[in-house]
């Protein structure tokens, strides 16, 4: 099965459309891993049916690589069972923690960017990669707090993390822009520090503005400023870097999502022509 470059996040709203309209210019779909782990119900059966026609990427929200107490020991095992079943071309999660004392917080909590955190996260990622028998990709998150104990920039932390663990980065450009506005830094300083060869995938999404702050809601079209950052960065990546449109709330019809994906295609084509 040929693996194209442009994908969409798979939502249950897409099931019936794809069943009736199997021809689409979407190359692949990304699933939320936890929606299909430890289940034998209808969602996994539909996913297996779609998997016959489309490549799949697994994107998790509960790996909790930033947990000081370590990983939930059952999580990598359950994820590996799903991986063995659907054979995703990419497995990813977030630079965050949400697992504590045997339970989960329903939020991705940021970590301080310092050497202690770097050692903890690196150790957790290496353990996951050992269990899964493959590299994973780690996404930069949108965050709304900072830590006084941080003595590194987020982008410095991410690049060093990739070098130490051989994991790749899932670069969410919307999250870069949201954090840049909220915390007052230049988003290009972030992007200029990230070499394209360590980026496996790029996420693009929409944000919401409230009282001067930006929130990563995935409920709007990609903002023009985020498209601009994407256009400036994408020429640093090769054809192996996959590009995804995320839309989780107030989801438009499928054709509307395809239009957003086609914008990404056009920007990539212009970037190629300019090189």
Residue 250 is predicted with a pLDDT of: 92
Mean predicted confidence (pLDDT) in 65-76: 95
Q: Which residue reads 């790029």 in tokens?
A: 202
Question: Closest by alpha carbon to 89, among 206, 4, 151?
Answer: 4
Residue 116 in tokens: 């202690």
Residue 43 in tokens: 């969602």
The pTM of the full predicted model, rounded to 2 decimals, is: 0.96
Residue 83 has pLDDT above 80, yes or no: yes
Residue 29 in tokens: 């779909």
Residue 135 is predicted with a pLDDT of: 98
- What's the burial of 35, exposed, middle or buried (CB within 10 Å: 0-12/13-18/19+)? middle
What homologous superfamily does CATH list for 6-274?
Answer: Divalent-metal-dependent TIM barrel enzymes (3.20.20.150)
State the distance between the two ends of the chain, measured CA to CA, in whole angstroms.
29
Helix (H) or strand (E) holding 138: strand 137-139
Residue 122 has pLDDT above 70, yes or no: yes
Question: Closest by alpha carbon to 66, among 152, 115, 106, 124?
Answer: 124
Residue 106 has pLDDT above 90, yes or no: no
- What's the burial of 225, exposed, middle or buried (CB within 10 Å: 0-12/13-18/19+)? middle
Residue 192 has pLDDT above 80, yes or no: yes
Where are the domains positioned within the chain?
6-274
Q: Which residue reads 């996040």 in tokens?
A: 9
Mean predicted confidence (pLDDT) in 129-146: 97
Which region holds residue 99: left if phi is over 0, alpha if psi is between -120 and 50, else beta?
beta
Question: Closest by alpha carbon to 8, among 29, 27, 23?
Answer: 29
Mean predicted confidence (pLDDT) in 34-57: 92
β-bridge pairing 137-139 and 103-109 = unpaired
pLDDT tens profile 216-261: 999 999 999 999 999 999 999 999 999 999 999 999 999 999 999 9
Mean predicted confidence (pLDDT) in 5-22: 89
Residue 41 is predicted with a pLDDT of: 86
Q: How far apart are CA 32 and CA 48, in angstroms?
A: 14
Mean pLDDT of the chain: 95
């Amino acid at each position: 099965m040929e693996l194209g470059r442009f994908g969409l996040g798979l939502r249950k709203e897409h099931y019936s459309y794809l069943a009736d309209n199997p021809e689409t210019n979407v190359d692949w779909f990304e699933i939320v891993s936890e929606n299909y782990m430890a289940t034998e119900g209808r969602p996994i059966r539909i996913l297996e049916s779609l998997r016959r026609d489309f490549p799949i990427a697994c994107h998790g929200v509960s790996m909790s690589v930033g947990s000081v107490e370590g990983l939930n020991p059952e999580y990598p095992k359950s994820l590996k069972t799903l991986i063995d079943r659907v054979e995703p071309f990419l497995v990813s999660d977030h630079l965050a923690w949400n697992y504590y004392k045997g339970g989960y917080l329903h939020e991705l909590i940021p970590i301080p960017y310092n050497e202690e955190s770097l050692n903890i996260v690196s150790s957790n990622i290496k353990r996951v990669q050992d269990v899964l028998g493959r590299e994973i990709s780690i996404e930069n998150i949108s965050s709304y707090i900072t830590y006084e104990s941080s003595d590194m920039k987020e982008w410095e932390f991410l690049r060093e993390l990739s070098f130490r663990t051989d994991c790749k980065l899932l670069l969410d450009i919307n999250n870069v822009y949201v954090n840049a506005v909220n915390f007052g830094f230049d988003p290009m300083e972030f992007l200029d520090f990230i070499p394209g060869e360590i980026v496996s995938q790029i996420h693009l999404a929409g944000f919401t503005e409230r009282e001067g702050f930006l929130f990563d809601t995935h409920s709007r079209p990609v903002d023009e400023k985020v498209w601009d950052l994407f256009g400036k960065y994408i020429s640093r990546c090769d054809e192996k870097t996959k590009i995804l449109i995320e839309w989780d709330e107030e989801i438009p019809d499928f054709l509307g999502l395809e239009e957003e994906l086609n914008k990404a295609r056009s920007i990539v084509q212009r970037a190629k022509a300019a090189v």
